[in-house]
Structure 1
């Protein structure tokens, strides 16, 4: 019976506990209690002086003996217990449906979303997220808890004035440094998987080196990769990957190195050891991890028309639907369909350069649209005069077709950090540079000692 009394008291506490946004109340009132603090405070008060209303309304609501005072762990169990009713956001759900499943109506939705601080954030929900509801003893909605992500929880609590306040809790993950090395046997993708890198990290690695390496043609068996990166942990378990701190790729005997650096104005990018940006004016290839079916050849025999026609570009064979990227920043000057080209997109880059993308399955850019490097402008297909799914890619400089594989040597130089920035840059990358050197030499012991961490891979 004491447990029943305690549960009722806690329900009242949770329903009446004042809460609010720390930011909103900073000037007018002290910081409000958290949900758990409010429950603990009211529980302690009730244990000394039980509510007269509770005594008069039920014969069993008597003052509990001192030994019945709840332990802290009991309070925590009650707060996280059955009072909060969890609802998982389903595909096609809206707030009205979710509130209805929990036993509440559109009036409650309006109160929380439009009358509470930051309430409109609750409208941005996605399948798989959790929304929890707290019901007061009188059946009214006392609180809503929205788990936006493992790192962020927002709680809306009804106060004594009947209005909802907001409490936002943002957790900071633990950052751990990790590193790995690998060797190309067939492709960057397979090597990355063997190294334990996620697909996202493999694609990020390709983006970093995309201005100096064509990952379709350039990699060779025996090429080596070294990566120093962050991993984020929550409660001792890996939550997700963090940033790549530094990486090196040795391709056919030539080593390319990249370091992550935030400059004095807050811009983050990757640079080589000399402070030259890894981001070039154009990508070496507008698709990733595919194979070339036909190289640049001015006397190529056309596979359909069986005549010798100039092949003023490079064909990247890939499955239908493979994303096609804008090779550089620019404006779409043409996007349409023709019988020989199929679906196509032409992009103007400044005054001198044009890139063309033919035989697309889908166009995802419109004429006049501005695009940035690596934006998806379409997908690989076999429209027009094509024998199979592939991207035909052309590069024109001053109106003349150039070999996309070699033109990069004639393109403008990449951005370089100013001399005033170099001392800070060199100081910032020194630890990562030492780690890469240890990885490249195979001296993992030195790497572990330098970082003060246990061996990784």
Structure 2
């Protein structure tokens, strides 16, 4: 008997016999590792977690955990891991799945790698960041923050602009119709993930029909420190910030005679008290060197900064100090946090101000401006800002 097969049966049998080759999985690179080579565990620091317990739960022995901590403690302090921060564990692709690396994400960009395998070590690194420039404009209808939000911009733009223009424009007295144009840079991780504002390159803010220009420029090529100057090369910055923090109110001013709320007696109060919530960051009001970072029964946690041969400032009653003696700080650097240590009845910072070794009321001082650009450097400055000024000119102002 003859057996007949149709053409379709032959095709089907050929398909069954055909060996289909699967495409290899795409190579995934992250944190300097090829993730395809590992079993990848992603998680976040939870309440009650510790670095040791995390590793133990993933198969590392108590003895090895102790050894790892001792080896890496100068680079990675396991006591300072923060609730909610993401981490990644890379395990070997074997039956034991031994952890080879622990990666702690300090923030969106910075991370710390702890090699937990044969060669124990730790190092800090950063994800690849791309800077992209944007040009925008906005108009004030109610407030600067509302105008920034209307343009779909990061809220930190408001903070940056307030810092730039704090000595030129009173942002509590903006008028409807005031407007601005910006050229600024944004950060992107791996060219795609938004990671915040890098800096404002140039701006013009029209307030009460007067334009206020600002250009970001490093006048000192040695230090590389950036500052903002106007179209005439004049500094927008003052030598001192108006206040050492974002405060709720001034609870007590400099006075030759004040009733002390703790000591219950009349005495001079040679400082300015700024009330603010516990933990509010405290800034150095000018560039300088920390000459004291300590604790006394009266001052509590305090920091003292020498700015030059004339001016020194001190910040009292901190909950925590953030700088050490001998450390150089720049204007606006966080040097501590608001508290109520020492002789204090509530959270505040007592800001003290010395002129030539004598305590003074900072509100009564004719304080200097920031260092201007030297005359010999001005031609270089004008050449540097010319393309930025042209870029601002291309942006159309928005109107209400």
**TM-score of the superposed pair, with normalisation by structure 2:** 0.62
Range with bigger deviation, 81-90 or 325-334: 81-90
Matched, 1:175 2:132: yes
Assess if the C-alpha contact under 8 Å between 1:260 and 1:270 holds in 2: yes
> Taking structure 1 as reference, are residues 394 and 235 closer, same or farther at Cα in structure 2, changes over 3 Å only?
closer
Mapping for residues 144-223 of structure 1, pairs under 5 Å: 171-173=128-130, 175-181=132-138, 183=140, 185=142, 196-198=152-154, 200-209=156-165, 212=167, 219-222=172-175
Kept in 1, the 8 Å contact 2:162–2:171? The answer is no
**Using the alignment, how far apart are the partners of 1:274 and 1:295 within structure 2?**
37
1:431 offset after TM fit, Å?
Answer: 3.6
Instruction: Pick one of 93, 99, 110 that aligns with 1:135.
Output: 93
Residue number among 210, 217, 222 corresponding to 1:261 in the alignment: 217
Match of 2:284 among 322, 326, 336: 326
Equivalent position of 1:244 in the other structure: 200
Shift of the 318–199 alpha-carbon distance from structure 1 to 2, 3 Å rule, reads farther
Could you tell me which of 84, 92, 95 is aligned with 2:39?
Answer: 84
Post-superposition Cα deviations, 1:199-243, rounded to whole Å, max 9, x if no partner, equal 555444444456x36x9x874242765543222345645343332
Q: 2:20 aligns with which of 65, 68, 80?
A: 68
Alpha-carbon RMSD across the aligned residues, in angstroms, is 5.6
Q: 1:319 to 1:256 in 2, by over 3 A?
A: farther
The one-character-per-residue Cα deviations of 1:232-283 (angstroms, maximum 9, x if unpaired) are: 3456453433322223456677755332235655714123134445554322
* 3-state DSSP of counterpart to 1:68: coil
Matched, 1:228 2:183: yes
Q: After TM superposition, give the deviation of residue 327 of structure 1 in Å.
A: 1.7
Structure 2 residue 373 is matched with structure 1 residue 416:
yes
The C-alpha deviation readout for 1:51-83, integer Å capped at 9, x for no partner, is xxxxxxxxxxxxx976322235x5669x97897
> What's the counterpart of residue 13 of structure 2?
none
SS in 1 for 2:197: strand
Say if 2:38 and 2:92, in contact at 8 Å, map to a contact too.
yes
Matched position secondary structure for 1:267 = coil
Partners of 1:108 and 1:363 in 2: CA distance: 34
Give the length in aligned residue pairs: 358
Q: Deviations 1:154-189 (Å, cap 9, x if unpaired)?
A: 899x9xxx999xxx9964436242435354957x66
Question: How far apart are the structure 2 equivalents of 1:140 and 1:199?
Answer: 44
1:429 CA displacement = 2.5
SS at match of 2:201: strand
Q: Which residue of 2 aligns with 1:42?
A: none
What is the alpha-carbon distance in structure 2 between the residues aligned to residue 88 and residue 337 of structure 1?
Answer: 42
Asked whether the equivalents of residues 133 and 143 of structure 1 are also in contact (C-alpha less than 8 Å), the reply is: yes
Contact 2:289/2:307 (8 A) holds in 1: yes
Q: Which has the higher strand share?
A: 2
CA deviation map 1:331-384 (0-9, x unaligned): 435855566x776554433332232435x2535278955452334344335567
Tell me how far 1:128 sits from its aligned partner. Answer: 0.8
User: Could you state the TM-score of these two structures normalised by the residue count of structure 1?
Assistant: 0.56
Which SS does the other structure have where 1:425 is aligned?
Answer: helix
